[in-house]
Amino acid sequence: KTIAMLCNTLSKLPETSLILNADDPLVAQFEKKTGLPVVYYGLGKHEKVITTSSGVKEAKFCPLCGTKLTYAYYHYGQIGSYHCTGCGFTRPQPRVEGFQVKTDNKTANCFVCCPKGVVSLNLPVYGLYNLYNALAALTASLNLNISLTAIISALQNYIPVIGRMERYNFQGKPVFLNLVKNPAGFNEGLAALLETREKSDVFFAINDLDADGKDISWLWDVDFEKLADKEKYFNIFVCTGTRGEEMALRLKYANLPISKIKICPVQKRAVKEVLSGTGKTAFLLTTYTALWPTEKFLVKIAQKERIYEAERVPSVS
């Protein structure tokens, strides 16, 4: 229904150009379904792509004919290099493409090939999803005839909005705050944890209010099992929020040691618990309505990192 509604709306805007993610079949389908001119962006194959995906994919089947899609590789979720053997629907060649991708728990970097040449893009935020956001902004800006130099400068001075892997400092300890609201996004948040090869303390705040969605069964689609594979890097998992108990249960069934799982119903106490842990880094992952009280309390006791803020542009995410 959502796709049909979007196609119907776009059909009434004949002079519209679409900026689409070539790596997502759910998005790329809009070229054929609308007939509108399209400019694609995407990421090329890099050292961290995977050939099998254990994560839940929102598009296992071709959106045009229903045949199961085959993948040469995945970036995450259903994002990757796909092909349909039924109708030939395949990942289009992007006009703007990132390659030689490098990410750690602080930055995301790549080279970008576009009609105006090859440039280096260095983002002060973590995650492939942030690279995708940057490539989308870059592609749209080029389509508006903004200079490539201005675009790169703006992106490299980007300030993340609340909950987009914000960095804080608590008594010398790096603290990361990230919003999680679906399996794909949660899996990318977990990937940040796994990038850190040192002891960490982890906070999960899961609410089920209207803005979060009442049904939290999607937690069972998140690949928490990969935390168990690297369990030695984590001291404690503090679970809070209106569904903190269910979060703790999910971790138990992911084969994480019960001794490392703690339920703390009071959110402020949970934040204090994870920040006072013995780990060298703390990660706070929260659903939407838990994000704001977490951030409000966090700014009172920790220092938000604001590197070169005076020179940066406002968030565009």
Active-site residues: which are they? 215
Residue 117: CB atoms within 10 Å: 8
| Tokens, residue 51 | 């050939």
Contact 81, 45 (CB under 8 A): yes
Q: What is the DSSP letter of 182?
A: S
Contact 294, 268 (CB under 8 A): no
Residue 120: CB atoms within 10 Å: 11
Query: DSSP strand E in the chain: where?
Result: 18-21, 38-43, 70-76, 79-83, 96-103, 108-114, 117-123, 166-170, 173-179, 200-205, 234-240, 261-263, 281-286, 303-304
Measured at the CA of 50, the angle between CA 48 and CA 56, to 5 degrees, comes to 120
Task: List Cβ neighbours of 267 (8 Å cut-off, separation of 6 or more).
Answer: 205, 240, 241, 290, 293, 294, 297
Residue 294: CB atoms within 10 Å: 25
Angstrom CA distances, 84 to 43, 53, 60, 72, stand at: 19, 17, 10, 11
